[in-house]
Each structure stands twice: as structure tokens, then as C-alpha cells.
């Protein structure tokens, strides 16, 4: 007579999935930060240098840069942005200046790669 043994590994699977999600969000945030920064029109370089990320596994490198975006990301959150006061005026324009979108165009350019990062990281054993 053979015996069958069942082990409940639900808790381990949940932990692994949560770890994979944190890794995926962090990798995606780093990629998106680069795509956005590459599209910023440069006059002084201040706005481009201020683009940073906060993700479950950390922030942008460098103390000064990490201070540019305040807050903390939750377990399933990541943020990419800036706290530079004039950033929205560059993105959306004013009555004196044409819009020069960098956030929207950066996200649009990165979208497929971000989806691929999440899919790849969330796939088990692959």
C-alpha cells in the first residue's frame, strides 16, 4: 500500500510571490526613471537630475537624489517623479511656453518593457 503525503506550502508560495512583486516593481521603477529622464528637455539639467524613484526595495541611488522624491512605497507600489516646482509647467506648458511632455512620453515608451518586466518576474521558475 502506498501513502500520499500532502504538504501545505501556501505560505511559502505567498511569500515568494510577494518577493517577486517587490523585485518587479523595483526593476520597473528603475527602467521608467531612465526613460523619463532621457526625454526631459535640458536647460540647466536640474529637472533631469531630480527624476528619482521610490520602490519596495529602495530608492534612487545617492542621498541627494533620493531626497528629491519623498515618501515610502508600499509593498505593491512604486513611484517615479520629481519634486521640482516647475516640472508641471514643462510637462503641460503655460500660455507662454509649449508643453514638452517627458513623463507621459517616457511612460508610453516604457510601457511594453514594464509589462515584460512584471510578467518575467512574476513567472515562477523562469
pLDDT digits (tens, 9 = 90+) for 62-71: 555 545 566 6
pLDDT digits (tens, 9 = 90+) for 98-123: 999 999 999 999 999 999 999 998 88
Whether the model pTM is above 0.85? no
Tell me what pLDDT residue 126 has: 43
Structure-model confidence comparison of residues 87 and 64, the more confident one:
87
Give the three cell numbers for residue 96.
507662454
Confidence tier at 25 by pLDDT (50, 70, 90): very high
Q: For residue 105, how far is the Cα from the chain centroid?
A: 15
109: nearest Cα among 40, 51, 36: 36
Residue 33's contacts (CB-CB under 8 Å, 6 or more residues apart) are 51, 52, 53, 60, 80
Structure-model confidence comparison of residues 118 and 2, the more confident one:
118
114-115-116-121 Cα dihedral, nearest 10 degrees: 90
Lowest mean pLDDT among 25-39, 48-62, 63-77, 99-113: 63-77
114: nearest Cα among 33, 15, 57: 33
Amino acid at each position: 500500500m502506498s501513502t500520499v503525503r500532502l504538504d501545505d506550502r501556501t505560505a511559502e508560495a505567498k511569500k515568494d510571490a510577494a518577493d517577486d512583486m517587490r523585485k518587479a516593481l523595483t526593476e520597473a521603477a528603475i527602467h521608467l526613471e531612465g526613460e523619463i529622464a532621457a526625454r526631459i528637455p535640458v536647460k540647466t539639467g536640474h529637472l533631469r537630475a531630480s527624476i528619482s524613484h521610490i520602490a519596495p526595495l529602495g530608492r534612487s541611488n545617492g542621498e541627494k537624489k533620493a531626497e528629491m522624491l519623498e515618501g515610502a512605497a508600499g509593498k505593491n507600489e512604486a513611484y517615479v517623479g520629481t519634486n521640482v516646482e516647475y516640472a508641471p509647467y514643462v510637462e503641460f506648458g503655460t500660455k507662454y511656453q509649449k508643453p514638452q511632455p517627458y513623463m507621459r512620453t517616457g511612460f508610453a515608451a516604457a510601457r511594453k518593457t514594464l509589462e515584460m518586466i512584471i510578467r518575467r518576474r512574476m513567472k515562477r521558475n523562469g
